[in-house]
Amino acid sequence: MAKSYTTISGDMWDGIAFRTMGSELYTDKLIENNIGHRHIFIFPAGIKLDIPETSAKIPSGLPPWKRR
């Protein structure tokens, strides 16, 4: 089932990826899945984004501040 997220004012790509997909490392996948909004850096409220499925694991060798 496809997930979606509706932005709140001030949302940014990396924060949305972290909250919805578990890591800011998925930011590129999030942008690719919502290519029509790629020009937005800081979102206004009310933009609906499609959240892609995450199948890859986050590498365990990441420093603690980049792990969920």
Domain boundaries, the chain: 3-55
Length of the chain equals 68
Q: Per-residue pLDDT for 68 more than 90?
A: no
Contacts of 40 (CB under 8 A, 6+ apart): 47
60 vs 36, higher pLDDT: 36
pLDDT attached to residue 37: 97
**pLDDT digit string, tens, across residues 2-50:** 799 999 999 999 999 999 999 999 999 999 999 999 999 999 999 999 9
d(CA 45, CA 66): 27
Burial of 10 (0-12, 13-18, 19+ CB in 10 A): exposed
